[in-house]
Structure 1
Amino acid sequence: MENRARFRFLSLHMVAIQEVLNILEPFDYINFSQASKRCRKLSTVKKPYKVFILIKDSPEILTNTDPILYGVRWTKEKEKDATRGDRPYPDQYHEIRVNCFENPLDSMKELYLYARSLMGIEIGFLAFRMSDFKGQCREIVDRIRSTFRGIHNLQINGKDQQQDELQYILDNMKYNCRLEILATTIERLPLKIPETIKQLLIDNGSWITLDYLMSLKMSTIELWNTNLTNEDMNVIFKSWMEMRSLQNLKSFEINLSNRGDFVEAALKDISYKKRPSITGRYSSYIREGPFEVTRKDGRMATIAVCEYPSEFFVAMRPQPPV
């Protein structure tokens, strides 16, 4: 067979090289950077990526590159090594390559640290699946907490987990904006949540009391499956209006246990105005309201009964401060 001259990619002009590198998917880009010292040097100019990290038995890293999310999954299953998979969604497509390693979690950490040193990766989202670790959550947290720092959004999943293990994750992972607790615990006891985060979502809030809710400092609060009543809502609204709690609030949503007497019970002894229908993101969800209330410093908020997709909830939206 006739020998063909090799295409000398690195001999191209710097602008041409960068144009080619910019169209590579992130993990091919990383592979290129590992080919030689010069390739590594050329690769350090790429802009940072935000990544999604899934901590589970077969951990994954996904890059936030719309409309396609490229990812790597690590597994112990040898038959899946060097395979590719996909997860199609209505408005997005995930392309996953699978690598087999004896210790998937440590291998993922190694790639993450290299990628972070190469292009300044930021963690937009980290999900922790407690059910995959069967009582070893503390050990897993100790192995990853020094590596995965500055997490924007932390999500914790798992059914009937140990309370102390969930609390250990909350106390030791470093997250700075949004916390989503989708996990349930056997004990169903209140959780200690950092006051420094801005947004909180609790999906299984049967343990949430009125006093616990009133002590929260976040600007965005979403609580579901609580046992709080319309009478409790009345206390919450009055407390906000009298500037006794929830002073940082920008958005508040909570499941509605009884729609029938919402106005009579939740708005009892509260001065409000019925506003015309509004437009925007939540307008199609509104089933009753919106009602406008005014805090004693003059700041207003709207309160509405909403439905999505088939569950009723209350939405409160204070106006931005002037």
Structure 2
Amino acid sequence: MEKPFPLFRLPRLAIEEVISTMTPFEIINFSMTSLKIKYFIKCLLRTSRNSQYVLQVNTTKEPIIVLRGSEIYFKIKITSFKTMNRQIEYKHDFEIQKYDIFWIYSENLIDEWMNFVRIVKEVFQIEEHIVIFHIDQFPTRNKLIVDFIKSLTPSIESCEFHGKTETDEDVEYFLNNLNVTEFVGFNLKLSDRFTFPQDNFLEGFTIDPANWLTFDKLLRLKGSEFYIHGSPLTNQELNQFLILWMTSQCHQNLGYLLININDPQSVDIIFNLPFEIMNPNVERIGRLPNNDTISLKEGIDIKRNDGMTGTINFDRRLDKMLLTMVVSQIN
């Protein structure tokens, strides 16, 4: 029988070299062997260059953990199929990069998922947290999942909600316990009684369907980009929203708006306000709030009282008409 290799008798530089050759999954497994090894790896990774990572957790049917960094991209999937245990699947996504999927078998999917999330969080230095929450997959454990994430971090950068069951309670519990700082995506139907409970500014919202988003609730949302489908807003309310924007009474940090139009036949009601039709033969350069520039061709311009311009165009999604508005400073 071979004797175990005395790794910690090697010089520190030699130990670091050994660990640097390991895959992320090997690092995770190695860190689970003892508290001493976990502490050493944790210190090593947190003092090395390119050591900050994005952690994405997903409570889908086979719960997922994704870790992304400048030199690392890998997934862990928790599965109920024994034959997949410890299998490694190599993927190549042309939109991102090559990555590995490591399959872990467990009879208790969420418990095992939480175990590995905790280990990844302890070992790697996480600079951004993304949560994709499928409320239908483990409905009796949704609050436990939220409490678990909160125990690791009280604040996350981004979250998405998916599901078919109309349940406000789990979404509200999530948002009342975890502070979201950048993006929220609602990809599920909520009741008309639902109100977004946070009042901090976010970079973006995606709401589909937006059946619950009344005019007053839209005014209370604070964000830079809005992608809204299926809202009940009337053309008169869209007109009122644009007037309030033009007079700097709402959404002064708005950079982009996409929203459905429920009555395309009376779209002129929306534009019962001062506007100019752009010359289709003229290309203009607009400066966005983040100082990026954008090329603008055609559309309808409305002016805010501080000089900002909202350039409006129309698009379609299947049989639905959409209004899009880009806010910029015209050079």
Shorter chain as denominator, the TM-score bin is 0.7 to 0.9
Aligned with residue 161 of structure 2, among 156, 159, 180: 156
Q: Structure 2 CA distance, aligned partners of 1:315 and 1:22?
A: 48
2:86 matched residue in structure 1: 82
Specify the alignment match of 1:168 in structure 2: 173
Go from structure 1 to structure 2 and tell me whether the alpha carbon gap of 1:160 and 1:114 turns closer, same or farther (over 3 Å shift). Answer: closer
1:170–1:7 CA distance, 2 compared to 1 (3 A): closer
Q: CA deviation at 1:70?
A: 1.0
Answer yes or no: is the 8 Å Cα contact 2:89–2:100 preserved in 1: yes
Cα distance in structure 1, aligned partners of 2:72 and 2:315: 33
1:223 and 2:228 are equivalent in the alignment: yes
TM-score when scaled to structure 1? Answer: 0.80
- Relative distance call for 1:188 and 1:316 in structure 2 (3 A) is same
- Residue 108 of structure 2 aligns with an amino acid whose one-letter code is N
Larger CA deviation: 267-276 vs 48-57:
267-276
Structure 2 residue runs of 5 or longer lacking an equivalent are 46-50, 287-291
Of stretches 44-53 and 113-122 in structure 1, the one that deviates more from structure 2 is 113-122
State the Cα deviation string for residues 224-252 of structure 1 (Å, max 9, x = none).
Answer: 12232333221111110112212221222
- Is the partner of 2:52 in helix, strand or coil? coil
Deviations 1:155-203 (A, max 9, x none): 1100133222322222223322111111113x34332331114122111
Distance 1:23 1:268, change over 3 A: farther
User: Is the CA contact 1:44–1:119 (under 8 Å) kept in the aligned structure 2?
Assistant: no
In proportion to residue count, which structure has more strand? 2
Per mean C-alpha deviation after superposition, the further-off stretch among 269-278 and 158-167 is: 269-278
Q: Which residue of 1 aligns with 2:43?
A: 44
- Give the Å deviation of 1:54: 0.5
Contact kept? 1:240, 1:295, Cα under 8 Å: yes
Answer yes or no: is the 8 Å Cα contact 1:302–1:316 preserved in 2: yes
Q: Does 1:134 align with 2:139?
A: yes
Cα displacement (A) at 1:63? 1.2
Give TM-score, length-normalised by structure 2. 0.78
SS at 1:169 equivalent? helix
- What amino acid is aligned across from residue 214 of structure 2 in structure 1? T
Q: Tell me the residue number matched to 1:269.
A: 273
CA apart distance, 1:315: 1.8
Written as runs of structure 1 = structure 2, the 5 A alignment for 1:1-322 is 11=10, 14=13, 18=16, 21-22=19-20, 24-34=22-32, 37=36, 40-41=39-40, 44-46=43-45, 47-65=51-69, 69-85=73-89, 89-92=93-96, 93-185=98-190, 187-198=191-202, 199-259=204-264, 261-262=266-267, 264-274=268-278, 276-277=282-283, 289-307=298-316, 312-319=321-328
- CA deviations over 1:263-284 (Å, ceiling 9, x no partner): x222223233515346899989
Change (3 A) 1:115 1:306: same
CA distance in 2, matches of 1:29, 1:8: 14
**Paired residues of 1:290 and 1:304 also in contact (CA < 8 A):** yes
The alignment yields a C-alpha RMSD, in angstroms, of: 3.7
CA distance in structure 1 between the aligned counterparts of 2:293 and 2:214, rounded to whole angstroms: 27
Residue 19 of structure 1: how far off its partner (Å): 5.8
Letter in 2 for 1:171: N
Q: Secondary structure at the match of 1:145?
A: helix
Give the C-alpha shift of residue 44 in structure 1.
2.5
CA distance 1:215–1:115, change in 2 (3 Å)? closer
- Percent identity over the alignment? 21
Deviation at 1:121, TM superposition (A): 2.0
Amino acid aligned to 1:192:
F
DSSP-derived class of the 2:299 partner: strand
**Are the equivalent residues in 2 in contact too, given 1:138–1:168 (CA < 8 A)?**
yes
